[in-house]
Amino acid sequence: MITLFENYKLPCIVFCALLTITCVTCAKETDDQEPHPIQNTTDEAEANLKYLLGHALQKSKVLQETHGDFAPYGAALFPDGAVKYVWLAKPGEAINDPALSLPFIRQALNNQALAKQIIGSAVIYKYQKKGQKIPQLTVELEYMTGLSMAFATEMIVDHNNTISWGNNSNGPLVPKVFTLK
């Protein structure tokens, strides 16, 4: 687990410096290997994003059921299938304005994407419109090939703080992590 900004007041430079996601190197392809056909690449991207989404949903469920609430966080998918998390606040700690943490989480993931250390990312946060009784969990998913989508599902929390997922939807997302600089 990666914990950042103990007091939430450190400058962004320190935030990026403290980011310590384990680097994983990809195996080098030799020139005699044929590249994947485009369809296989798309299928692989979709399968990997589903895998990452499954991790994000499970982690969110555990966080909610264990702590009663959670701040936005990120997830990085490494080439070996490992998923590591990026936190602005430790699990169980609150943030005054959760929306302000999203750019920091995206930047931490973007740094790893630019270094070609990760192949997929997820930014996970809860959202509740005024007047709505049921909060939703939003997961912004991106893959190194450019595939990106937003997934949203209702978070139904019972009196024991147990989560069940309600109606859900997904749609296109403008990439914010796997971008060129």
What pLDDT, in 10s, does the model give residues 152-169?
A: 999 998 888 889 999 999
Please indicate, yes or no, if residue 156 is contained in any of the structural domains: yes
Please indicate, yes or no, if residue 2 is contained in any of the structural domains: no
Please indicate, yes or no, if residue 26 is contained in any of the structural domains: no
134 or 129: whose pLDDT is higher?
134
Indicate if the pLDDT at residue 72 is higher than 80.
yes
Please indicate, yes or no, if residue 64 is contained in any of the structural domains: yes
Please indicate, yes or no, if residue 31 is contained in any of the structural domains: no
User: Do the bridges between strand 120-127 and strand 73-77 make them parallel or antiparallel, or are there none, so unpaired?
Assistant: antiparallel
Using pLDDT thresholds of 50, 70 and 90, give the confidence band for residue 125. Answer: very high
The candidate with the shortest Cα–Cα distance to 23, out of 121, 142, 115, 146, is 115
Distance, CA of 62 to CA of 122 (rounded, Å):
17
Please indicate, yes or no, if residue 178 is contained in any of the structural domains: no
180 or 149: whose pLDDT is higher?
149
Please indicate, yes or no, if residue 23 is contained in any of the structural domains: no
The torsion of the CA quartet 176, 20, 94, 166, rounded to 10 degrees, works out to: 50
Helix (H) or strand (E) holding 106: helix 102-114
Q: DSSP per residue over 120-147, as a string? A: EEEEEEEE--TT-SS-EEEEEEEETTS-
Please indicate, yes or no, if residue 181 is contained in any of the structural domains: no
The CA-atom distances, in angstroms, between 119 and each of 80, 126, 166 are: 10, 24, 29
Distance, CA of 165 to CA of 154 (rounded, Å):
6
> Phi then psi for 20, rounded to 5 degrees?
-130, 75
Look up the domain containing 134 and give its range.
Answer: 13-18+38-172
Q: Over range 109-115, report the average pLDDT.
A: 96
21-60 pLDDT per residue, tens: 222 223 333 334 444 444 567 889 999 999 999 999 999 9
Phi-psi region of 146 (alpha: psi -120 to 50; beta: other; left: phi over 0): left
Length of the chain: 181
Structural domains counted in the chain: 1
Give pLDDT, residue 94. Answer: 79
